[in-house]
Structure 1
Amino acid sequence: MIRYELAGPDLSEVRFAISPLNELTLSLRALRDPGRFPLHLPWLRTVGAADLDRETLLALTNERLWTPDFLNPRPRNPLARLEDELEVVAATPPHRVRGDLDAVHFEGGPPPALSGRPEVVLRRILTALRGYWDACFEPHWQRMRAVLEADIVHRGRMIVHSGMAAMFADISPRVALSGDVLAIRLNTSKVDYRRTTAGVGLTVVPTLFTRNPSTPISAEEPPVVFYPARGLGNLWTSDRPQSPRALRDLIGETRSGLLTLLEAPASSTELAVRLGVTATAVNQHLRAMRAAGLLTSARHGRSVLYLRSDLGDRLISTSSIQVWTP
């Protein structure tokens, strides 16, 4: 059990962030045990054909699917860049590299790919991760980021409407905010500590590669909670949504599809992939639908996320009603 004592359970103490490096590192869990991540199987098939340093990559997790803390640095904001995060990792002191690898492989020690001088091992890890990103992540990152950003917007709305405790409870039954203490129940009893967030705050990070909330192994690390993002079920599908025929006849195939998809927040990039049309065309439709009052929008970082308005909800609902005529 991990307990974070919030210096003040308010918005200034809790920050949301997105981390390309954390996604990259946490995805190694799916490489090691694909059966636990069935929704990622379409993506894992493409990964299987890539030319990667698999020995090094797979050595960065253990049977419990832990990863070294130094490869999961706390992101400072939702706009973190992989290059900046890799620079932080490259500056990791040798004693910490060895200590974190030993903590992950506490039974039997690190495998051969991670044995040797820490400086050499760190360079090998960075090279393997860079190649992994270029081959398997960069082509899909815009789409992945869109899902993560949509989740953060959803969490922000929950905080406004229902409060911080309700937002954390919605993340997982394993997470609970009681007073000023946030408790995270893990799968293992080997990680158990309590620390304050005073002076550093708490960073909350949605990820596509965890089924349960997780935290750093060490109490010395800045307070971070990784949690499963919403919308994963639609991440790798490009099927067109089935919108009501009456709605398609009224506003057209593409716009009816957009209105159907936007039950949850999404960016124009994600929507273009889902519908199989260009981002330019999607943006034109979105602007027109927003002007007509069918959509709302909110900027998050470099993306604009769209969501069906109350009027859009009513149009979908009304169009779905089957009317019999003689």
Structure 2
Amino acid sequence: MIEFVFRTDDVARVRFAFSPLWELVHGLRVLADPSRRALHLPWVHAVRPRLRGLDVGLLRGAVPATGYIPDFLTPPPETPLPDFGAELEIVRATPPEVVAEEMRWTERGNVAGPARLAMAAEPERSLEILCGQLERFWAAAVEPYWEGIRDLLEGDVLRRARALSTSGAEGVFADLHRAVRWEGGTLYVDRWWDHRGELAGRGLLLVPSVFVWPQVSVMVPPYQPMLSYPPYGVATLWESSPAAPPDALAALIGRRRAQLLLALGTPASTTELARRLDVTPGAISQHLGVLRASGLVTGHRLGRRVLYGRTRSGDALAGPGEPAESAGPAGPAGSAQGG
């Protein structure tokens, strides 16, 4: 069991970010064993032809389907909206002794396999090759889908930041994942390995990740304490077409606007909405303008981008019960320190 003990100032230092590099590394894990992460099968089928002839053998050896991922491959993001190139430079700057130590580390006292030991024996060379393979895998398998992934992650950050501001830590962690429990100022994460410690003013970094689904992933000191979890709405990411809106809703506001309102259960950009609904960005903008003027949709600026999401009135009109963005995390806790 992991136990993060919060002081009052640690609650104020809970912050959010996401990481292109985390998506890449956990995407490798999905490809290594798709049966464990069947939700992502549409992505698996789409990217496998792109990977033919691509040399990522060393990278696959470093990132197993289950178990420990060397932590230097998944550094905690340093900014809320990180860039893949900047994150790759952090990996490149890993000291050779850290590469060697983490390649040799195993769970439960096991002995590292030959591939890991070979990488540990030549850490500088191994790091150089791994960084090149990370760059090639990103371009082939993750970057083409990054816009939709980023929309989903940004939407989850917005949702949980609002929960933190209105309900504090309990509002953030209450429905984060079944493996996560907040009780009496301590955050419990169900894992096979043990760690208990005060955050001691460092706070906790929360990182939504599409490809970590259905698990959670934890980092502990000496790294920045961090919890990675599946974002809400992850099940909608690979949908080829949106669900048909109810006839009554379509009659009230129009079929296209009804589709758009349902799609905004998870916040998204104009470009992503245009892709999902197969209409032009200009048409999406026009419909969003009407929905915003009606108080059903609102926009949130993140850097140069704007994400649109439903208001409470929009949620109420879209249908009874939980908003669509709540369809998401499920499944058991993960079983690896770094992944």
- Report the TM-score, using the length of structure 2 for normalisation: 0.84
Q: CA deviation at 1:150?
A: 1.1
Amino acid at match of 1:212: Q
* Distance in 2 of aligned mates of 1:135 and 1:293: 40
The corresponding residue for 1:236 is 238
* Equivalent residues of 1:262, 1:306 under 8 A apart: yes
Number of residues paired by the alignment?
314
Secondary structure of the residue that 1:307 maps to in structure 2?
strand
* Distance in 2 of aligned mates of 1:235 and 1:201: 30
Amino acid at match of 1:262: L
Q: CA deviation at 1:102?
A: 1.4
- Report the TM-score, using the length of structure 1 for normalisation: 0.87
Q: CA deviation at 1:248?
A: 3.2
* Equivalent residues of 1:238, 1:276 under 8 A apart: no
The corresponding residue for 2:337 is none
* Distance in 1 of aligned mates of 2:305 and 2:197: 34
Question: Which among 83, 86, 103 is matched to residue 84 of structure 1?
Answer: 86
Amino acid at match of 2:204: L
The corresponding residue for 1:27 is 27
Secondary structure of the residue that 1:18 maps to in structure 2?
coil
* Distance in 2 of aligned mates of 1:3 and 1:300: 32
* Distance in 1 of aligned mates of 2:38 and 2:65: 18
- Percent identity, aligned pairs only? 40
The corresponding residue for 1:137 is 142
* Distance in 2 of aligned mates of 1:15 and 1:302: 20
* Distance in 1 of aligned mates of 2:222 and 2:70: 13
Q: 1:13 to 1:313 in 2, by over 3 A?
A: closer
Secondary structure of the residue that 1:269 maps to in structure 2?
helix
Secondary structure of the residue that 1:183 maps to in structure 2?
strand
Amino acid at match of 1:220: P
The corresponding residue for 2:47 is 47
* Distance in 2 of aligned mates of 1:5 and 1:204: 15
Could you tell which deviates more after superposition, 302-311 or 146-155? 302-311
Q: 1:299 to 1:196 in 2, by over 3 A?
A: same
Q: CA deviation at 1:255?
A: 1.5
The corresponding residue for 1:184 is 189
Q: CA deviation at 1:27?
A: 1.6
1:214 matches 2:230 = no
Q: Which runs of 5+ in 2 are unaligned?
A: 321-339
* Distance in 1 of aligned mates of 2:136 and 2:301: 32
Q: CA deviation at 1:315?
A: 4.4
* Equivalent residues of 1:7, 1:13 under 8 A apart: no
The corresponding residue for 1:111 is 115
Q: Counterparts in 2 of 1:136-215, with a 5 A limit?
A: 136-186=141-191, 188-189=192-193, 192-210=194-212, 211-215=214-218
Cα deviation, 1:96-133, whole Å, max 9, x if unaligned, reads: 00111112585343517736410110011111110010
1:252 matches 2:257 = no
Q: CA deviation at 1:235?
A: 0.3
Q: Which runs of 5+ in 1 are unaligned?
A: 319-326
* Distance in 2 of aligned mates of 1:296 and 1:99: 48
Q: Which has the higher contact order (CA 8 A, sep 6+)?
A: 2
Could you tell which deviates more after superposition, 49-58 or 16-25? 49-58
* Equivalent residues of 2:104, 2:120 under 8 A apart: no
* Distance in 2 of aligned mates of 1:226 and 1:316: 30
Q: Counterparts in 2 of 1:54-65, with a 5 A limit?
A: 54-62=56-64, 64-65=66-67
Q: CA deviation at 1:196?
A: 2.9
* Distance in 2 of aligned mates of 1:168 and 1:30: 26
